[in-house]
Structure 1
């Protein structure tokens, strides 16, 4: 009785402490007091955070209860200019996005979420954090304004954000790789030893060669995930932009080992014109658990929020998606969307001085502060399936517009759009296959890892007059799974164990056929995260950390993570057949590389 009274008294006294103070009590094993305090504080001090995820096709916002992780409201906004194919040329591998798509989507999704959530939630929003695709940089003027927002550049694709999958800088990436070999210090060692055309400096080098007018007007070159926090905090000068370690390390060649960027003579030898941007690149970079500042008065009024709301440092979508998906050391978190980003974290003392070759980088603090973040991935994953879907839908272009615009035509077209991939998955899952069945190579958008080469092309072999759509589709899915296996084997070859797989994203949620094949081909269990919005959820977890609700993002993961939905276990009856087909996949890939 005395013990209970003391506990109750302690709880009444301690409820006035900040919520983050709960965690300090646990260090001294004061769990009963901490537990009581936690629940009292949750009731008396509601806290909500907003996570915003800028994907390839749309932006989505999520309001999350910072104590329980409950998803209070969500909204999605497809980019209208991107949807209409503006400023892009797929034949030239040119993919650009207008900053207006981002700004409009940011405002509309957050407003929609706040409307759903109600006034109590609105009054208790503590922080906003964002993730974006990457490397997706843009040229800005001295005020930090993207050039495409200026009248002279409004319709110039070179003045817009250069999307991650833009491969117009293949030659420039090759020039960077060739130059790096001439230096005694390997400045590419922390990005896998090969610089990609998808990344920051290759894209800038291409821009300054392709468009003198844009280069002249450009003050500096900024990643999407760094620009959005600058926008929300009302930045007035480009020099105020806080760069995140995530893109700086994985895409920008920034490393503590080099004291920041490689030396000036590296960039000067590449092209002296790069020095204009090198000189504007800051000496310090930040992890995503740090604040970029407060929401500006202008954006607070625009969104209907308080300017006391904090804005977190931005990061790439897959990195925050790994956090939202509750990553743990040595578990490969596969963030599966149009492409894949495969994330893995390792304690620094266990990795030591080891450098992993052929991946997209290893950066201290890029996923979780205090851990080495390793990134790999595939340049096309969902994009492979989307390409095949569009290929099958092509005959609809031959139908008279009057028929398609009719009520029946719209219904038929909509039904085909919605059902086609589901039906392909269902029929492909029921197919029998053998060693000679159709076999594909998944490099339809080049190869990201292992060993980046964006000039490689895809392939489908073994076609005959009996080949049908489900059979070809099955081979494409299999090829993406074989590509995933190559990544796992590279980590293992580099003495980085992979203890298990975590699947996050829409494909992981919606396609049991693909997930089962992944487990079969990778020969290890794959657990699928429960949240359908892991990237936005990860951003919300970082926002909760920025707000001081948690002392570290790991604590936010524990409290806010919903756990896992299901686990796929390998079907060993296919092991021998997949092994034979995998060897053929490797042989075909080698032939393509030699061609």
Structure 2
């Protein structure tokens, strides 16, 4: 391929959107822009104490326009004029209730400030009770178990649970709504100017992993099943259609309005959307028999396997398995941990409390100097903890932690679970606590690998992308030792957006298959971590204790819930 075609990948994250323009010939990133969501940055529409996290649609629109405009300007007019395709990935499940044209209700009169009319972010856990009802109904209603391809446990983080929560708690929004859209379906519709729900190309990735769509069911769950949850769900289902699409397929061509807004060619093709982890797995160059770990605030663990003849092998307790959700033509598997980097951030905040509380009151310096001093000290905490923890000798393992600070995503989703620390003595210091937390997140990673292997999914090595993977050699080596698995870190810090760019190139017809785009556009490997045999042996003996602690904590919390049922 000549160097005459460029593509744009857009990655909608929790705090910001990033856009890249990449050379379709080799994946070289020409320019990057990161734009934060202004309302989200001010904490609007969220209530952490209630696990409510919402994004206003305008945050997405404004940040996307700013990001693409900036990357186009930085790349220059000549490059921008040769953009052939755009693809977007998003967090998920991040659904929104819409009107009959697919417009989020928060963009319509009467609902502009109503959080329930906005996008329900992936980390929103207000629907725990609704998820439990979905699981109970799936097991008792007498028909097919519609959760079986979702790992057998439906999560409060997912599509139907979130919508059911809004329907049951906000009658005005429920009555006004006509349909539901995942964020990854709304963005392509916006860019192409599509306002006919019947013409929307809904993501196979989103529908399969989060909305219980499967070809065996003829699409989404049966009306009778949904009606047992709430009659409105049946009405919403009717607006979804039955067909879903992989992201190598064009959603359509960019609209004249958005072509002018963004300074892009009027024939730019827009791909069907997908979730960030799935496009990121492609950007990380995932292959069969590899686990791709996206290591950020949470973790997402992806795997692909060639389709086989005969019945589909079910892997219980994961976040679903969907034909074509990662690489079209292969089975895509999703798992992950609800908290990963967030665990370390929590410990940092804990240690920073005295700095934040006492520095402002100290005499002898002006407020700006105290602020700068405090920021500098806080930024040094994790690097210093890592240095000290790395130098600690291996110990007997009496100090153990659980990584369930934000509940458990996999194996076996349970958002009511909590983290724990055990074995603390008067000799326990901050570096030892930090190492125990790192080991806990690594044990959580191992639990995912063990579940896949137990169900016949072969995993030989791992690839890592994300902020933690590139910033912390200590964490990466610990994970490699605990999993006893080689881990390659993908080069470059835009693997997810580059993965979206690979789909853009395929949808635009520049490559015949996603694998061909991968081969040409992959950024390669930055570093490889290999397990240390002695440390791997030590952690192999410690892992059963982690499982024992987890079992104890889960039993205690279950007893509490049974004694004091929640609404």
TM-score by length of 2: 0.95
Q: Partner residue of 1:61?
A: 19
Verify: 1:380 aligned to 2:316, yes or no: no
Structure 2: distance between partners of 1:464 and 1:86: 41
Structure 2: distance between partners of 1:101 and 1:589: 39
Structure 2: distance between partners of 1:399 and 1:235: 54
Verify: 1:269 aligned to 2:232, yes or no: no
Cα gap change, 1:352 to 1:512, in 2 (>3 Å): farther
Pairing of 1:214-253 with structure 2 (within 5 A): 214-253=173-212
Verify: 1:457 aligned to 2:408, yes or no: no
Q: Which runs of 4+ in 1 moved over 4 A?
A: 399-405
CA contact (8 A) 1:332 1:500 kept: yes
Structure 2: distance between partners of 1:84 and 1:400: 24
Verify: 1:132 aligned to 2:90, yes or no: yes
Structure 2: distance between partners of 1:471 and 1:408: 32
Q: Partner residue of 1:173?
A: 131
CA contact (8 A) 1:141 1:238 kept: no
Structure 1: distance between partners of 2:161 and 2:498: 31
Structure 1: distance between partners of 2:378 and 2:159: 35
Give the RMSD, CA atoms, in angstroms.
1.6
CA contact (8 A) 2:482 2:536 kept: yes
Cα gap change, 1:416 to 1:261, in 2 (>3 Å): same
Q: Partner residue of 2:69?
A: 111
Q: 1:359 aligns with which of 313, 318, 323?
A: 318
Pairing of 1:225-374 with structure 2 (within 5 A): 225-349=184-308, 352-374=311-333
Cα gap change, 1:541 to 1:351, in 2 (>3 Å): farther
Q: Post-superposition shift, 1:593?
A: 1.0
Which SS does the other structure have where 1:67 is aligned?
coil
Deviates more, 1:314-323 or 1:292-301: 292-301
TM-superposition CA deviations, 1:454-513 (whole Å, max 9, x none): 111111112222222222111111100000000000011101111111111111111111
Cα gap change, 1:111 to 1:78, in 2 (>3 Å): same
Q: Post-superposition shift, 1:350?
A: 6.6
CA contact (8 A) 1:528 1:565 kept: yes
Deviates more, 1:415-424 or 1:105-114: 415-424
CA contact (8 A) 2:483 2:536 kept: no
Which SS does the other structure have where 1:284 is aligned?
coil
Structure 2: distance between partners of 1:118 and 1:242: 32
Count residues with an aligned counterpart: 553
CA contact (8 A) 1:440 1:461 kept: yes
Q: Partner residue of 1:85?
A: 43
Q: Post-superposition shift, 1:351?
A: 7.9
CA contact (8 A) 2:359 2:370 kept: no
Q: Post-superposition shift, 1:437?
A: 4.6
Structure 2: distance between partners of 1:292 and 1:405: 56
Q: Post-superposition shift, 1:574?
A: 1.5
CA contact (8 A) 1:56 1:338 kept: no
Q: Partner residue of 1:153?
A: 111
Q: Partner residue of 1:477?
A: 438
Q: Post-superposition shift, 1:273?
A: 2.0
Q: Post-superposition shift, 1:291?
A: 0.7
Q: Partner residue of 2:462?
A: 501
Q: Partner residue of 1:22?
A: none
Verify: 1:581 aligned to 2:542, yes or no: yes
Verify: 1:531 aligned to 2:492, yes or no: yes
Deviates more, 1:82-91 or 1:414-423: 414-423
Q: 1:565 aligns with which of 526, 529, 532?
A: 526
Verify: 1:186 aligned to 2:145, yes or no: yes
Q: Gaps spanning 5+ residues in structure 2: where?
A: 557-567
Structure 1: distance between partners of 2:68 and 2:437: 37
Q: Partner residue of 2:503?
A: 542
Which SS does the other structure have where 1:566 is aligned?
strand
CA contact (8 A) 1:48 1:121 kept: yes
Which SS does the other structure have where 1:181 is aligned?
helix
Q: Partner residue of 1:210?
A: 169
TM-superposition CA deviations, 1:107-165 (whole Å, max 9, x none): 11111111111111011011110000000111111122211223422222111111111
CA contact (8 A) 2:359 2:374 kept: no
Structure 2: distance between partners of 1:418 and 1:533: 23
Q: Gaps spanning 5+ residues in structure 1: where?
A: 1-37
